[in-house]
């Protein structure tokens, strides 16, 4: 095993103390505008939150699962069950994060549920040590790049208006969602109007290998990448498609852990990986994949799941890690919600960069009134 593939992350040694209270909270935040991808349309962000209270410290973890199985097979209800019945019982006082990570492997899949617990524990440990999360992970504070993910629009004209706004705001990269019937013409319109912006598309698995000839038309638009063109569960067919296209492919849905990343790299299925810490089971696995990718010439970036300010902050801290070579799907809070549950909101600086929170733990504060107002379910476990 070469050094870059080394599995020892210094924060694995950190030990979890006694937890006084554990709560599961489900919030529902209406979106400013509905978000459409090839496989779903969402009008609100529903998120499961895990709250840990220990010695006067409150820590949070956000689950990136949706209420529906339209992006991932994990759902909020399913992950509640996995967290309560299978993951939390493994979190005993005195156990280290590394041990928890190894114990969690006994539970198959369910990366989003695992990430929720790991995120909350990391927030708790960092807050106890009175350091920001990125420092616990071992990386210095810095500004991170911004990017925007624009949902499928009615018409090319409607899309142009949204892209125009994003370019004005200063985003470093624009991603547009595509699906069969809403692709070439839409990309062409954006490219003609904005010849120089960093542009990419995300199909969320809408195409089949037989569509290779059709997708080849995208090669003329100088796209940064095409994200998950084929099935949400496929790695092999992407390797065949990648050989037929000049444009880099990026995998999102079909990468659940380091092993999947190794398979994709070995097969040549993609040149870029979208790392969502929630999808891959948390920050530890996200960092392992990032290291492996860097050692193998694969670019990575941080995706997003339209998170509330809790999960968004975690994604921002993650991007301090070396290897995040491309702008991610990290956008300003006001693009998603009129009201978020945390303060301060994410904003773009004049140069389009985003500042990493400098406070303890995730570095954002949950607002009790907002949380109460937006809570649709609450359950005390301990
Ligand atoms: O495919 O990356 C995706 C949102 C929900 C589900 C899947 C995806 C997305 C996004 C939005 O693209 C990313 C964000 O703005 O947080
Ligand atoms: Mg995607």
Q: Which of 127, 177, 179, 198 is catalytic?
A: 177
Q: Which of 31, 33, 305, 331 to mutate to test the pocket of ligand 1 (most atoms within 8 A of CB)?
A: 305
Return the higher-pLDDT residue of 1 and 257: 257
**Ligand 1 close to Cβ of residue 306 (< 6 A):** yes
Tell me phi and psi for residue 94, to 5 degrees: 90, -10
Pick the residue whose CA is nearest to atom 5 on ligand 1. Answer: 305
* Atom number in ligand 1 closest to CA 202: 1
Strands (E), 224-343: 226-227, 249-251, 272-275, 299-302, 342-343
**Ligand 1 close to Cβ of residue 206 (< 6 A):** no
Catalytic, 177? Answer yes
DSSP states of 248-277: PEEE-TT--SHHHHHHHHHHT--SEEEE-T
In eight-state DSSP terms, residue 121 is H
What pLDDT band is residue 98 in, cutting at 50, 70 and 90? very high
* 211-252: pLDDT as tens digits: 999 999 999 999 999 999 999 999 999 999 999 999 999 999
All domains of the chain in start order, with CATH: 3-134+368-380 (3.30.390.10), 137-363 (3.20.20.120)
* 282-312: pLDDT as tens digits: 999 999 999 999 999 999 999 999 999 999 9
**Ligand 1 close to Cβ of residue 331 (< 6 A):** yes
Of all residues in the chain, the percent with pLDDT exceeding 70 is: 98
What's the whole-number average pLDDT of the chain? Answer: 96
Position 6 pLDDT exceeds 50: no
* 62-93: pLDDT as tens digits: 999 999 999 999 999 999 999 999 999 999 99
Distance 272 CA to ligand 2 centre (A): 12
In whole angstroms, what is the distance from residue 14 CA to residue 98 CA? 8
Distance 132 CA to ligand 2 centre (A): 28
Q: How far apart are the first and last CA of the chain?
A: 42
pTM: 0.96
Q: Which of 114, 135, 198, 276 is catalytic?
A: 276
201 forms beta bridges with: 176, 226
Q: Which of 29, 62, 149 to mutate to test the pocket of ligand 1 (most atoms within 8 A of CB)?
A: 149
In whole angstroms, what is the distance from residue 312 CA to residue 306 CA? 8
**Ligand 1 close to Cβ of residue 149 (< 6 A):** yes
Catalytic, 216? Answer no
């Amino acid at each position: 095993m070469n050094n870059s593939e080394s599995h020892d992350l210094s924060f694995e040694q950190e030990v979890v103390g006694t937890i006084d209270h554990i709560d599961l909270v489900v919030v529902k935040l209406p979106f400013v505008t509905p978000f459409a991808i090839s496989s779903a349309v969402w009008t609100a962000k529903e998120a499961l939150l895990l709250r840990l209270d220990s010695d006067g410290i409150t820590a949070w973890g956000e689950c990136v699962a949706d209420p529906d199985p339209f992006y991932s097979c994990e759902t909020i209800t399913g992950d509640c069950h996995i967290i309560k019945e299978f993951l939390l019982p493994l979190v005993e006082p005195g156990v280290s994060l590394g041990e928890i990570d190894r114990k969690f492997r006994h539970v198959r899949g369910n990366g989003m549920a695992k990430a929720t617990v790991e995120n909350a524990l990391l927030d708790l440990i960092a807050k106890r040590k009175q350091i920001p999360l990125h420092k616990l992970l071992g990386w210095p504070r810095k500004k991170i790049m911004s990017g925007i993910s624009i949902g499928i629009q009615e018409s090319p004209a409607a899309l142009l208006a949204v892209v125009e706004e994003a370019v004005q705001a200063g985003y470093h990269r624009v991603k547009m969602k595509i699906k069969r019937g809403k692709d070439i013409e839409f990309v062409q319109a954006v490219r003609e109007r904005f010849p120089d912006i960093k542009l990419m598309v995300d199909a969320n698995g809408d195409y089949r290998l037989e569509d290779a000839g059709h997708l080849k038309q995208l090669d003329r638009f100088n796209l940064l990448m095409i994200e998950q063109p084929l099935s949400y569960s496929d790695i092999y067919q992407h390797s065949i498609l990648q050989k037929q296209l000049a444009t880099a492919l990026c995998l999102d849905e079909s990468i659940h852990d380091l092993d999947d990343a190794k398979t994709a790299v070995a097969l040549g299925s993609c040149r870029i990986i979208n790392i969502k810490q929630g999808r891959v089971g948390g920050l530890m696995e996200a960092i392992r994949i990032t290291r492996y990718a860097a050692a193998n010439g694969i670019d990575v970036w941080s995706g997003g799941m339209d998170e509330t300010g809790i999960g968004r902050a975690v994604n921002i801290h993650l991007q301090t890690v070396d290897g995040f070579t491309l702008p991610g799907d990290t956008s300003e809070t006001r693009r998603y919600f009129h009201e978020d549950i945390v303060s301060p909101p994410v904003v773009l600086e004049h140069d389009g960069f985003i500042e990493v929170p400098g406070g303890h733990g995730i570095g954002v504060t949950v607002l009790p009134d907002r949380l109460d107002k937006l809570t649709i379910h609450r359950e005390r476990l301990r």
